[in-house]
């Protein structure tokens, strides 16, 4: 368009998709306790505990490796993530 090589920009004739962003509703205390009780003994129990106690996003939770955990200092390094381009 800027170079006037096409008569019109056809992208202007379409409607972009609407964002489907739902409001996130966190678990209340009773729901969180129920989830942790149900997860007891599950191989992913530590992941559920980490998710509820830190409020990390799914991308942050799933990217952790052993090197991110410092057991002596009782710390966990959170690495930045990209999810859906954000």
Average the pLDDT over 42-46 and give the result: 91
Tokens read off for 76: 């966990």
- Threshold 0.75, pTM exceeds: no
pLDDT digits (tens, 9 = 90+) for 3-41: 888 888 888 889 888 888 888 888 999 999 999 999 999
β pairing state of 75-76 and 69-70: antiparallel
pLDDT digits (tens, 9 = 90+) for 55-70: 788 878 877 767 788 8
């Amino acid at each position: 368009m800027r170079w006037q090589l096409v008569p019109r920009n056809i992208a202007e004739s379409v409607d972009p998709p609407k964002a489907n962003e739902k409001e996130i509703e966190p678990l209340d205390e009773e729901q969180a306790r129920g989830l942790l009780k149900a997860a007891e003994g599950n191989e992913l129990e530590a992941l559920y505990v980490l998710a509820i106690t830190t409020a990390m996003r799914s991308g942050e939770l799933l990217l952790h490796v052993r090197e991110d955990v410092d057991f002596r200092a009782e710390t966990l390094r959170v690495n930045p993530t990209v999810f859906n381009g954000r």
